[in-house]
Structure 1
C-alpha cells in the first residue's frame, strides 16, 4: 500500500554524491529532488522500509525483514538498453547494495539507478495544458507519423510505457525523434497481435475522438470528425 511517509529525507538530497558500480563504476550528484514514491510491502519498492507498526522496533527486529527485490523499472531499462532501443532513455548506471545499520531496514536491499534524460518537449502535462496541442497542425501530424514508427519498434522490443498518454511522450524536434518515458511497472510482453492504428493514436492523446465509438468492437474506422 502506498503512503505519504517520507523515508529518505536525511542524508539524500541535492548535493549528495551517489556511487554506482554497474555496468562500470560511476559517480552521480543529486541536483534536485523531483518526487518520491513510497510503496511499502509492494513489489514496486525501490528501497525497503519497515513493515507498518515496526518502524520504532530495534534494529535486529527490522533487519529480519530484509529481502532482495529487483525493481521492475531496473529490469525494463536493462532490457531496453540491451536491445538498443532508440526511442527510450538509456540506462546509465545502477547499484544494488545493502542498507547499513542506520537504514530503515538494516541489511535490507537498496537499489540505485540512473537513466538518461532524453532531450525534447514533453507533450503532456499533469498540471496544465498539453504542449502537443499548442504546436501547429503540420508538426502534430509529423509527431503522429513518428509515433506510429516508434510504437512499432517498441512492439518489436516487447515493452511499452506504463501509461498511454501524452505525458509518456517526448518530442525532439531537431532529430525528429519521439521518445517513450515511464517504465516503473515494466509493461512487458509479446505484442504480436497489437495493431498500431488510429486507436493507439487516440489512446496516447495524439487525436481526440468525437465519441467513444472507437473503443467498441466493430468500429468502422471513421476518424473524419476527430480533432487532429
Structure 2
C-alpha cells in the first residue's frame, strides 16, 4: 500500500470546506466545524491489490476542526473514503458499486481501545461515524468513515518526519530535552503495554506539555500486540535514537552487534 502527499486526483470535492459542520453519531452525537484542511493522501489501488487486500483503494483527508459551541475546543478529524480502483474512475456507477466493501481503519480501532483504557498519554477519541456512499458516490455502497480525536496541549517536537530539519525539540535547552527524555523513558513502556503503535517512530509523534511534565504520543497507526510485563521492556539508547531524541555520532547503533558505545552522541 503506497501513499502520496500530493494526490493524483483530489477525491474530496464537497462537504469539507471551512465552516462546514459535520455531525458524527458515535459513541454519542457530536458536531464539528471544519477550520482548515491539513493534508490529503491517496491510497488508490489497482484491481490486483483489490484482489489481494480487498479494501486498499481509498483516500484520506485530515482536517483541523472545533466544537461549534466552544471554538477553543479544537480537534483533528480524518475522513476515510473508498475510491474506485485505478483506471475504473470513469466507468458507470453500477460497475464502480461492485467494488464496494467494508473497512475498519486500524487507526479508529486503536483510538477506540486506547480511549476505553483511559490511557492519558495519547489523544482521546471524541467521536466517529461509519457510513456508506450513496448512488452519487465515488463507489456507491462503499465506505465513508469520519473520526475525531482531541488536540492535546503542548509543543509538537517536530512538524515532519524529516530528520535533517531543525525541529522544535533541538531548539529547547539541554535541561528541557533531558526532562523530555526522562518522561519518554518512563512513559513509552506504558504506551507499548497499552498497544500503542505509531505511524513511524520519530519526534513528530511526540507532544511535550512542559507545565505539567506530560509527554503525549500522537500519530497513531494502529494497535500492536500488548506487552503485559512492563518491567521487561527497557528504553535504551537505540530507542531514544529511533525517536530522534538523541543524535548518534555514527550509524553503528543500527547494527545488531552494536557494542552500546554512545560516545559523541548529541543530547
TM range (shorter): over 0.9
* TM superposition shift of 1:31: 0.8
User: Which of 205, 210, 232 is residue 173 of structure 1 equivalent to?
Assistant: 210
Aligned mates of 1:147, 1:106 — CA distance in 2: 45
Structure 2 partner of 1:153: 190
* TM superposition shift of 1:20: 0.6
Asked if the contact 1:63–1:105 (Cα under 8 Å) also holds between the matched residues in 2, the reply is yes
Q: Secondary structure at the residue paired with 2:37?
A: coil
Structure 1 partner of 2:104: 70
Asked if the contact 1:44–1:71 (Cα under 8 Å) also holds between the matched residues in 2, the reply is no
Could you report, residue by residue, the CA deviation over 1:134-174 in whole angstroms, capped at 9, with x for unpaired residues? Answer: 10011000000001111011121122312111111111111
Q: What is the TM-score when the length of structure 2 is the normalising length?
A: 0.79
* TM superposition shift of 1:194: 4.5
Structure 1 residues 44, 226: closer, same or farther in 2, change over 3 A? farther
Q: How does 1:1-228 map to 2 (within 5 A)?
A: 1-2=2-3, 3-41=7-45, 43=56, 45=58, 46-126=80-160, 128-183=165-220, 185-191=221-227, 194-228=233-267
Q: What is the TM-score when the length of structure 1 is the normalising length?
A: 0.92
Aligned mates of 1:120, 1:145 — CA distance in 2: 17
* Structure 2: gaps of 5 or more residues: 46-54, 59-79
CA RMSD in angstroms comes to 1.8
Q: Secondary structure at the residue paired with 1:211?
A: coil
* TM superposition shift of 1:49: 0.7
* TM superposition shift of 1:80: 1.1
* TM superposition shift of 1:224: 3.5
Could you report, residue by residue, the CA deviation over 1:17-50 in whole angstroms, capped at 9, with x for unpaired residues? Answer: 1111100011111110001112123548321011
Asked if the contact 1:21–1:93 (Cα under 8 Å) also holds between the matched residues in 2, the reply is yes
Asked if the contact 1:98–1:107 (Cα under 8 Å) also holds between the matched residues in 2, the reply is yes
Aligned mates of 2:87, 2:249 — CA distance in 1: 50
Q: Secondary structure at the residue paired with 1:36?
A: strand
Asked if the contact 2:57–2:83 (Cα under 8 Å) also holds between the matched residues in 1, the reply is no
Which structure is higher in strand share?
Answer: 2
Number of aligned residue pairs: give it.
227
* Structure 1: gaps of 5 or more residues: none
